[in-house]
Structure 1
């Protein structure tokens, strides 16, 4: 008989609806039952595409005996971390503080008042090598709750107090900058941040550090920002671009890249980007695409443009909802064959030599040479501890196409055509396999990131005349979806998720920060004033709900959230950037348009947001590379380019294209369209009012510190004014 999760919409919660565990969703019903029965809560947090979540579910949560232990002694509660990131971050902080590590599935035991007193991640179903298995642990905790409850409750209080003290003390700690002005502290942080990545760079495989290797996009964003500020042709700029570009190229060659279907897997378990953890996340696709677009700007290398198009093609085909929003992820696991009960990680993506030989015929030799295919599989045993990839081949490119072309005596263009035909065959064949589960919920934050990426693609990718417009159309459809389905215009608030209807969880700080960023980018791509207007309204809501008036920065959750025992502020740019890191730049971008130096306005709040984390970014600049990217706008005079004319006209678009040919300093981009948009802007920034086309031609006004150069009506003149 299904448990209470059968009434939920989350794919992750629905995966557990038929467990014998009497799961309850996170909420007052579960809390009230824990209080009434005076039982601890067992909290299990994961997400639908999490491999080890599946493993623990199969080993423990589907086991009748283990379920009986859970149901007898605890109130079992399941949380989808993508629906409730605020809950996840509180208890992840606890587990990391207690054990020194974290991850999913996250397992925590709470008092009925939601205070944690024990936790960990994955637990095996039996005792192994001196480590207690899950049933033994459940019995021990149940015994402790019955006989030493006061000690457990006191432990929960102690750890929460320590976490609260750490949170409160971050802004007050000596940051080691000796009270330097922001500009001096920022300069030191930039130097130390670059030095960290320079020294951590892996010269053999690219990327930073050793295994496992994650495509942490904020690292590359920081390096490209250095190149933009120093000049891509300067010594430091060239080195920054070299590190970032080499990392992207290595990722594109490796097994972390889905060569057949496009896009990138979550991370590689080895240092060479070869064996991936096969899940694919929307937030990775969006951020890696932006890295590729900036690499294209920095180098002019069309290979980076191809990488971005590869990602956008995958997202359009496999992660786009018919209504316009973008789905969250695809699982790593799938059935090993049609109708098979057995599932394995990577089953959808890997190939035996026999499969490839049979499918490709005369093209097999070319494909095998290019992708490193071996008769007995190409995955070393030490990288396949579960044995799921034995005899299988992960497609990767151990060498360039030019080398393969020489081996087969082909011209480069002919080799490329042959490779594309092979990939098309493989894509068709793979489509007949059982697909991994797609988590089809639409998350506001992730959609904000994808809107940004598509808006930038419209700006940067030339291609055919229709290509950039297709990216702009996709970004616009997604923004309209979020506006229609995930926002409440009456209150100005956002909701977190949509799946077969709007979810109940409110939007969190990351939802606001990422979406505001996306709307600012969307305005600068298509110049529809509605997106800038909405960004302004959302920023006001974000400030009202999440801003820390005492110390600066943004909390993850709202003050009135009764089910959150500790309000946290993110101080690390990980797989996704901290909300405050993104919000700081959003504020400074708004300040560049609407105000000067007012301390109580956007600029003052943006600077204070940066200062709130000074202790972190001065001690460990590499921990907050995304926040460092905002420092440029905090320290330099605002720069603007106002384009006067019809944004849909070819001459206007020709001028706009010049603005994105190269990496450079940040500029606020505005349209003086002669209509409602310009009137709205002029009410808030009067200096825009007189700007108009010259001689009937679209005209660019390049301004710095509110002083403008002579109007430019040709791409060549605009390029000259920008220093091109």
Structure 2
């Protein structure tokens, strides 16, 4: 008989609905039951594409005897960390404080009032060397809670105090200046792997926020050393097994230091950020490889990770048929089976396929040498060979599509969707692909129209119930608001549809009203209406995604430029001050905050284009503006003369010169004389 999780929408929770464990979702019902029964809570946190979460579920949560021990001694709560990042953040911090490490599955024992007193990550179903089995842990914890509760809670209080201290803002009267950006370079460059790119050691994570900051540093200084670090990392990743050479898109990380062997799950947030990073690197370098990665990754998202209503799915699993990576790897015989002999030899040579393999007897496809070197060695006409490689890739993709695919976590998260919305919008504008811009607009309309509650508040998650409708749940977090504001600003620049600015402004006002603390001058991760936990979470460090506070700081500055509302920028700068110690001492942990500093302390320009979108001169002006990496330029525009009462001071009273397409190049709203040609615009920009 299904347990209470059968009523949830999270694919991860639904995976556990038939467990013999009497699971509760997080909420007052479970907490009240624990208080009523005077039992401790066993809190289990994971996510759908987590390999070891599946292992522990199969070994322990599907085991009748272990489930009986859990049901007798505990109130059991299962949480999808992607749905409730605030709960995950607090209890991950607790386990790290208690054990020195963390990860998922996260297993935490807490009191009915939420106080953690013991925890860990994965526990095996029986005792193993240096690792107690889960039944032993359950029995010991239940016994200690019954007989030594006061001692447990006294020790636990130290952990709670540490969590509260971490979430408490620190006042700082320092100055947010550009020396913080220059100081960060020594830390970032010192940790760079000069052979394989990325950070030194293994496992290797993509860290797109680090390389976005390095690109900005290069833009400021022209340092070839910085650009070399970025190029090495992006090229090695694109050539490695962490990139799906056949289907496009990146895996979560590589277990080795050469980007070869991935942990095969693909996360929406990684791919969104990496599309943006490769796009910006293309603007900076014009390397065809980077454009190809952007195109193939967006093709993958469109093909496999997009719902008919316009939402983007959260993740795909590492496993298929119970085997990690099975869907993605190839033997020589499998390649021979689907390709003609000459094509098979090309595929094996290009993607490094061998009889011995590089992963458990099979092959993770990768590029042992760069495409340019492969072309030069072949002696074949390069364009013909490139066409052959692409044709072979499509054949292999079609053959692979007949395999049993990894599972898809099909919940739609506003924060992660906003990252991908931004990627589609910006790539569509730069590469003049209207289909990508349309995809971005469809996604924006879904988030703005359907992922709301009856009071108009942004929610966090949406799960389709039909081709067009869905079930939206959970109050939106700071990340949801900040990421969506930033995405809407990018979408405005791609379309010049001012309604996106209106939506961004309304969201910003809500975000300030509900997440801003006027005494500390910081944003919290949860709103005033969220359920109260041990502390009000405020995670300022970048993790797999950028800090919500940092994205808010950047988005509010850009929104302030377009709307002329100085309060937005003032709050952004105030919030940055609390992060000065982190920027000075651990810049690699706060690179998205340093990105916000870069905008604050740049000689940013505003460019306003007035004219019909179909005018070829306007098209050429847009093309020129988007051809280079200019992260601190704000672009605005209007089709025809802007009205006298335009909502943006950038647009107010802007008129075409002699009926021609016209560009205004401004700084702090002080504009130079309007020009009507691309050449004149370029001269003003430089």
Which bracket does the TM-score occupy, shorter chain normalised? over 0.9
State whether residues 265 and 318 of structure 2, in contact with CA within 8 Å, keep that contact through their aligned partners in structure 1. yes
State whether residues 213 and 270 of structure 1, in contact with CA within 8 Å, keep that contact through their aligned partners in structure 2. yes
1:94-105 to 2 correspondences below 5 Å: 94-105=94-105
Q: Which residue does the alignment assign to 2:200? A: 209
Q: Which residue does the alignment assign to 1:329? A: 315
Q: Decide which of 513, 516, 519 is 1:547's aligned counterpart.
A: 516
State whether residues 497 and 505 of structure 1, in contact with CA within 8 Å, keep that contact through their aligned partners in structure 2. no
1:486-505 to 2 correspondences below 5 Å: 486-488=451-453, 490-500=455-465, 501-505=470-474
1:358 aligns with 2:337: yes
State whether residues 426 and 494 of structure 2, in contact with CA within 8 Å, keep that contact through their aligned partners in structure 1. yes
Q: CA deviation at 1:490?
A: 4.4
Which digits, 9 at most, give the CA deviation of each residue in 1:551-610, with x for residues without a partner? 2221111234334221121121121000011000111112222337x5xx1111010111
Q: Which residue does the alignment assign to 2:216? A: 225
1:73-92 to 2 correspondences below 5 Å: 73-92=73-92
Separation in 2 of the partners of 1:97 and 1:62? 30
1:61-460 to 2 correspondences below 5 Å: 61-168=61-168, 170-172=169-171, 181-183=175-177, 186-187=178-179, 189-230=180-221, 234=222, 236=223, 238-335=224-321, 343-362=322-341, 363-379=343-359, 390-405=360-375, 408-460=378-430
Separation in 2 of the partners of 1:20 and 1:367? 48
Q: 1:487 to 1:678 in 2, by over 3 A?
A: farther
The TM-score, its normalising length taken from structure 2, stands at 0.96
- Which stretch has the larger CA shift, 688-697 or 10-19? 688-697
Q: 1:354 to 1:11 in 2, by over 3 A?
A: same
Separation in 1 of the partners of 2:574 and 2:183? 22
- Which stretch has the larger CA shift, 281-290 or 666-675? 666-675
Which digits, 9 at most, give the CA deviation of each residue in 1:489-541, with x for residues without a partner? 84343343334222321100100011111001101110111110000000011
Q: 1:371 to 1:117 in 2, by over 3 A?
A: same
Q: 1:495 to 1:402 in 2, by over 3 A?
A: closer
Q: 1:19 to 1:81 in 2, by over 3 A?
A: same
1:477 aligns with 2:456: no
Separation in 2 of the partners of 1:559 and 1:520? 26
Separation in 2 of the partners of 1:299 and 1:493? 38
Q: CA deviation at 1:691?
A: 0.8
Separation in 2 of the partners of 1:401 and 1:667? 34
Q: Which residue does the alignment assign to 1:9? A: 9
Separation in 1 of the partners of 2:58 and 2:103? 18
Q: CA deviation at 1:488?
A: 4.3
1:617-696 to 2 correspondences below 5 Å: 617-636=583-602, 639-664=605-630, 666-674=632-640, 678=643, 682-683=646-647, 685=649, 688-696=651-659
Separation in 2 of the partners of 1:143 and 1:49? 34
Structure 1: where are the runs of 5+ without partners? 174-178, 336-342, 380-389, 463-467
State whether residues 451 and 518 of structure 1, in contact with CA within 8 Å, keep that contact through their aligned partners in structure 2. yes
State whether residues 86 and 557 of structure 1, in contact with CA within 8 Å, keep that contact through their aligned partners in structure 2. yes
Q: Which residue does the alignment assign to 1:340? A: none
State whether residues 485 and 498 of structure 1, in contact with CA within 8 Å, keep that contact through their aligned partners in structure 2. no
Q: CA deviation at 1:408?
A: 4.5
Q: Decide which of 698, 702, 705 is 2:668's aligned counterpart.
A: 705
Structure 2 residue matching 1:122: 3-state secondary structure = coil
Q: CA deviation at 1:2?
A: 1.4
Separation in 1 of the partners of 2:636 and 2:425? 15
Q: 1:530 to 1:489 in 2, by over 3 A?
A: farther
Structure 1 residue matching 2:561: 3-state secondary structure = helix
Which digits, 9 at most, give the CA deviation of each residue in 1:103-154, with x for residues without a partner? 1111111100111111111111111112211111111101101101112223
Q: CA deviation at 1:216?
A: 1.0
Which digits, 9 at most, give the CA deviation of each residue in 1:305-339, with x for residues without a partner? 1111111100110011101111111111111xxxx
Q: 1:538 to 1:445 in 2, by over 3 A?
A: same
State whether residues 181 and 597 of structure 2, in contact with CA within 8 Å, keep that contact through their aligned partners in structure 1. no
Q: CA deviation at 1:636?
A: 4.1
Structure 2: where are the runs of 5+ without partners? none
Q: CA deviation at 1:274?
A: 0.2
Q: CA deviation at 1:194?
A: 1.2
Separation in 2 of the partners of 1:94 and 1:529? 45
Q: CA deviation at 1:88?
A: 0.9
Q: Decide which of 604, 609, 618 is 2:570's aligned counterpart.
A: 604
Q: CA deviation at 1:653?
A: 2.6
Q: Which residue does the alignment assign to 1:721? A: 684
Separation in 1 of the partners of 2:337 and 2:458? 55
Separation in 2 of the partners of 1:252 and 1:281? 16
Q: 1:75 to 1:649 in 2, by over 3 A?
A: farther
Structure 2 residue matching 1:126: 3-state secondary structure = coil
State whether residues 176 and 573 of structure 2, in contact with CA within 8 Å, keep that contact through their aligned partners in structure 1. no
Q: Decide which of 609, 613, 616 is 2:579's aligned counterpart.
A: 613
State whether residues 641 and 702 of structure 1, in contact with CA within 8 Å, keep that contact through their aligned partners in structure 2. yes
Q: 1:359 to 1:488 in 2, by over 3 A?
A: same
Q: Which residue does the alignment assign to 1:386? A: none
Separation in 2 of the partners of 1:319 and 1:715? 39
Q: 1:503 to 1:683 in 2, by over 3 A?
A: closer
- The alignment's C-alpha RMSD in Å is 1.8
Structure 1 residue matching 2:12: 3-state secondary structure = helix
- Which stretch has the larger CA shift, 260-269 or 617-626? 617-626
Separation in 1 of the partners of 2:5 and 2:614? 49
Separation in 2 of the partners of 1:487 and 1:435? 32
Separation in 1 of the partners of 2:629 and 2:100? 39
Separation in 1 of the partners of 2:477 and 2:629? 32
Q: 1:679 to 1:448 in 2, by over 3 A?
A: farther
State whether residues 401 and 412 of structure 1, in contact with CA within 8 Å, keep that contact through their aligned partners in structure 2. no
